Amino acid sequence: MYKGRFAPSPTGPLHFGSLVAALASYLDARAAGGEWIVRMEDVDTPRSAPNADINILQTLEAFGFQWSAPVVYQGQRTEMYRAALERLKKHGVAYACSCSRREAGAGIYPGTCREGAQNAERPLAWRIRTDGLTAAFEDRVFGHYRQHLARDVGDFVVLRSDGLFAYQLAVVVDDAAQRITDVVRGADLLDSTPRQLYLQHLLQLPRPRYLHVPVVTNEAGEKLSKQTFAPTLNARDRIGELRAALRFLGQPDQEGATPSAVLQAATIAWNPQAIPRRVSATRE
């Protein structure tokens, strides 16, 4: 049975880009007769804003979204991530790294600590060996996508030196634990998917299907976010916001007296093949 999810980070209120991602994942799940859940990706606790999770859930409800199970918080699942890391260590694919950000460099990690942490007195991060591997998958919008992990990404972090688990490991563990069959999210995460596929392989976890939708950007070409001062959703025009999100996704415009009515009509008309094959676009 299809099971999808919307996984916002509680760093602030939802904006139009968040609505596009939520809408795509919701419609894809409901059109397939499946379940749709919400997961708060608060693993990066310093970035989480007070009460942002409550605001997000209230906004989703106001826009007509209904989820199929209680909301899960990544911050409450660290023992699961720790157990996964221990398995990776046991298999010899994870190693400790004492490099600072400056030493690690802005590009591909040079492998300084591959044969042992250079300064064990520092707080240690943990990285995954990539060893020239290539990962590939079929995205439902972008088609065949291939990445040479060592050349394009390098040995990547799964546990940061500040003790926080990295997104790549947390999302893989959570998707498997929640039995997610389909991941629908923004195309800014397209190049993260091969790392997640590799972790799924190492941990012997099932691989979901993937569908990446265009990311909404501002006029400067920046992804809408708290950091780029994205305006919050207009709660006074919920139907208008939903209709704009549908048009952004290449879907037929829908009318309705309530947000729930718009979602119901959009579910019936949902056509993933109509989603524009582009990484990003501005709102019309």
For residues 234-261, one letter each, b for 16 or more C-beta atoms within 10 angstroms of the residue's C-beta and e for the rest, the string is eeeebbebbbbbbebbbbeebebeebee
Band of the pLDDT at 178, cuts 50, 70, 90?
Answer: very high
The H or E element containing residue 281 is: strand 280-282
Report d(CA 96, CA 219) in Å as an integer.
41
Q: Say yes or no to pLDDT of 230 above 90.
A: no
Domain 3-76+214-282: which CATH number of 3.40.50.10070, 3.10.310.70, 1.20.1530.20, 3.40.50.620: 3.40.50.620
Q: Say yes or no to pLDDT of 121 above 90.
A: no
Tokens of 81: 């991530």
157 touches 166 (CB < 8 A): yes
227 touches 247 (CB < 8 A): no
pLDDT at 81: 98
268 touches 209 (CB < 8 A): no
Band of the pLDDT at 16, cuts 50, 70, 90?
Answer: very high
Distance of CA 63 to the CA centre of its chain: 21
DSSP 8-state assignment for residue 125: E
273: number of Cβ within 10 Å:
8
Band of the pLDDT at 133, cuts 50, 70, 90?
Answer: confident
Query: For the chain, which residues make up each domain, given as ranges?
Result: 3-76+214-282
Q: pLDDT tens, 253-273? A: 999 999 999 999 999 999 999
Amino acid identity of residue 118, one-letter, is: Q
pLDDT at 18: 97
Q: For the chain, what is the mean pLDDT?
A: 95
Mean pLDDT of 9-31: 97
pLDDT at 125: 97
198 backbone dihedrals φ, ψ, rounded to 5°: -65, -45
